[in-house]
Amino acid sequence: MQLQDILYTQGFGTRRICAGLIQQGFVTVVSAVVDDPAMDFEADGLQFHVKGVPWAYHEKAYVVLHKPAGTECSQKPSTYPSVYTLLPPPLRQRPQKGAVQGVQAVGRLDQDTTGLLLMTDDGQFIHRMASPRHHVPKVYEVVAADPVDARQIERLLAGVVLDDDPKPVRAAACEITGAFSLRLTLTEGKYHQVKRMVAAVGNRVTGLHRSRIGGLELPADLAPGQWRWLTAADLAAIRG
């Protein structure tokens, strides 16, 4: 693949902009400046630098972000900063068909919810993760306003009725983790589901953190606001 096309697919701008970056000597491959936009490279596994910033070619982008509180999972946030501003420009500018551009969040977390957020430009992956028939478990650490007791856990496991659906929704797993905290596992994703389920058993959520999706735990060394690429092993763990 021509180097200008590699940069284009990775989100470094239009083909003209990418060609200009190369011609101006801003791109290095294996520590050597490449100034010919049409030079061919094997794309898979290619490591390069653009204006001194290291990058690696990925045919599809799969990343994990540790979402901090006070951010919105929206390209056009209403009140709080967008989580997309925490990503480098190439991830936000990766070309896609249609009007959509860059990676997209796989599901949304409320502005006050923290934790594991997947982002990708793979539409099939997003659909699979969002589809309730695939039953991908998502684990939440919940801090409650009032003490958590065994009766509340029993009701969450048995199923509670939310105001928009007469069919009960059940926790796939639920356990007390402290006097005012519990761990809740869901396999579907309704609007504000954790908060509404906890409210349905007579309590209230004051803190919410997503710690796991599928078999992938939020990396312990990933600080709030940081992101990293997902490995093949990570993706296998998520898919189960």
Active site residues: 110
Residue pair 128/134 in contact by the 8 Å Cβ criterion: yes
Residue pair 56/46 in contact by the 8 Å Cβ criterion: yes
Is the Cα dihedral 12, 13, 14, 19 positive or negative?
negative
Residue indicated by tokens 């396999």: 187
Amino acid at 77: P
How far apart (Å, rounded) are the C-alpha atoms in residues 218 and 116?
A: 5
Coil, strand or helix at 178: strand
Beta carbons within 8 Å of 218's beta carbon, 6+ residues apart: 64, 66, 115, 116, 210, 211, 212
Question: 127, exposed or middle or buried, with CB in 10 Å at 0-12, 13-18, 19+?
Answer: exposed
The helix (H) or strand (E) run that includes residue 103 is none
Q: Where are the alpha helices (DSSP H) in 60-160?
A: 89-93, 123-130, 150-158
How far apart (Å, rounded) are the C-alpha atoms in residues 113 and 39?
A: 46
Amino acid at 192: H
